[in-house]
Amino acid sequence: MTKAAAIVHWSDIEAPQPWQYDHHDEPMGHNAAFGHHFRLKRLGVHHQRLLPGRRTSFPHAESVEDEFVYVIAGTPDVWLDGVLHRLKPGDGVGFPAGTGLAHSFLNNTDAEVQLLVVGDRSTPANRIVYPLNPERRAHHEDWWDNAPARDLGPHDGLTDLRRAALDDQDG
């Protein structure tokens, strides 16, 4: 029996390499873009795999895009405004647009993490801010200048492995 065109397994559409930011050498997660594959107009849907030591992104917040992340497998940490919270399979985390709640998902374990990431498709009005990475502003015409001011906790947004690698470089 053949699959209908409206059915695809994430492993069939996963990008061959982990994605990474322009002008930065850190590999992030492996991404399977369901929304792009199915040409969805309003909904972005991704399956993301985080190998040990990887994170989904730099901590960021968006002005008009809602986002929801569901933990399929593994026990990632979610970074919320500088504080880590351990998650487990079945946990969901929501980010309403415009709140300024900065976030990222970090894999500080020895096992792979799998996430379902759902959000609005990119819109021209959306703005983004990276509170720990202000140097990103130079690469973003869509920088969120008037993001709500939020107090940040002490965590630096890096995975334990990434921090150790940077410490070794500084040496």
> Can you spell out the DSSP letters for the chain?
-PPPTT---HHHHB-SS----TT------EEEEHHHHTT-SSEEEEEEEE-TT-BSSSSBEESS--EEEEEEES-PEEEETTEEEE--TT-EEEE-TTS---EEEE--SSS-EEEEEEEEPP-TT--EE-TT-GGGGGG-TTB-TTPPP----S--S--HHHHHHHHHHH-
Return the pLDDT at 104.
98
Q: Which fold has domain 28-170?
A: Jelly Rolls (2.60.120)
Dist. CA 60–CA 46, nearest whole Å: 17
> Would you kindly state where each structural domain of the chain is located, as residue ranges?
28-170
The pLDDT value given to residue 50: 99
Residues of the chain with pLDDT under 70: 171
Q: What pLDDT was estimated at residue 171?
A: 67
* Cα gap 44→95, rounded to integer Å: 14
Give the pLDDT score at 16.
Answer: 96
pLDDT number for residue 35: 96
